[in-house]
């Protein structure tokens, strides 16, 4: 996903909010700030673009950039890459804000809203990495069926069907979830993990190799 935001420099325009839909768990997203110097007489120098309002649901590779010069009547881009975390529960909206300053202390803020898509079905995903040593992640999602909290149980069994551990055993809000399974105390081999939530049941296999 790419988000393009146009910022007009050396003007008094107030940046409006922009709303974008994003999918939890999606990696390598981009926010592109297109910086346009509309002045016909002077350059914009030493521009700093900085993320000043972040979210725990996002992971940015970089939170600020310095642009030394944008000559009059030209434009350039400030690109910020980010991943959307998967384990965000029922969080549906975040507000992100950038601050743009220059050598003359002229500044603007650019704010927009991220609205996370809501899961519409139960889903148990394949663990990753797989095979693993000694830990792996398991993702699952719980839809909003209008019945409130759902009792969710995620257990791991060995290949003989013996219970190894319980990773989740609680009521969960609708949303996306990710849990860690550390098998450092267990033997190599095939394991089975099963999710039960409401009337939904799903089982998958995974392999631990030392």
> Pairing mode, if any, of strands 135-142 and 44-53?
unpaired
Six-digit token string for 184: 């450092």
pLDDT at 102: 82
| Cβ atoms 67, 36 nearer than 8 A | no
Architecture of the CATH domain 123-208: Sandwich (2.60)
pLDDT at 17: 60
Q: Return per-residue pLDDT of the chain as tens, 210 residues.
A: 444 445 444 333 334 467 888 888 888 888 888 888 877 888 888 889 999 999 999 999 999 999 998 888 888 888 899 999 988 877 778 999 999 888 777 778 888 888 888 888 999 999 999 999 999 999 999 988 776 677 999 999 999 999 999 999 999 888 899 999 999 999 999 999 999 998 899 999 999 998
Cα(65)–Cα(7) distance, integer angstroms:
15
- Secondary structure class of 132 (helix, strand, coil): strand
| Cβ atoms 119, 64 nearer than 8 A | no
- Secondary structure class of 210 (helix, strand, coil): coil
**Strand ranges, E, within the chain:** 2-9, 18-22, 29-37, 44-53, 58-60, 64-70, 75-84, 93-101, 107-116, 123-124, 135-142, 150-158, 163-172, 175-182, 189-197, 200-208
End-to-end CA distance of the chain: 37
Q: Where in the chain is the domain with CATH 2.60.40.1930?
A: 123-208
pLDDT at 12: 33
CATH T-level fold of 2-116:
Immunoglobulin-like (2.60.40)
pLDDT at 8: 46
8-state DSSP, 63:
S
Q: Where in the chain is the domain with CATH 2.60.40.2310?
A: 2-116
Buried b (16+ CB within 10 A) or exposed e, 178-193: beebebeebeeeebbb
- Give this prediction's pTM: 0.74
């Amino acid at each position: 996903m790419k988000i393009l935001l146009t910022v007009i420099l050396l003007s008094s325009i107030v940046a409006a909010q922009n709303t974008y839909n994003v999918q939890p768990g999606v990696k390598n997203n981009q926010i592109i700030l297109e910086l346009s110097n509309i002045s016909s007489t002077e350059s914009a120098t030493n521009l700093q673009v900085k993320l000043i309002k972040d979210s725990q649901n996002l992971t940015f590779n970089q939170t600020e950039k310095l642009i030394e010069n944008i000559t009059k009547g030209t434009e350039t881009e400030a690109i910020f890459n980010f991943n959307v975390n998967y384990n965000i529960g029922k969080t549906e909206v975040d507000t992100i804000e950038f601050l743009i300053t220059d050598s003359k202390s002229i500044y603007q803020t650019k704010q927009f809203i991220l609205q996370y898509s809501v899961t519409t079905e139960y889903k148990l995903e394949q663990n990753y990495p797989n095979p693993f040593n000694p830990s792996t992640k398991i993702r699952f999602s719980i839809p909003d069926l209008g019945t409130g909290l759902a009792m969710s149980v995620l257990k791991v069994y060995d290949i003989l069907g013996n219970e190894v551990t319980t990773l989740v055993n609680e009521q969960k809000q609708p949303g996306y979830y990710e849990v860690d399974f550390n098998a450092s105390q267990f033997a190599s081999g095939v394991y089975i993990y099963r999710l039960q939530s409401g009337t939904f049941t799903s089982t998958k296999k995974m392999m631990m190799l030392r």
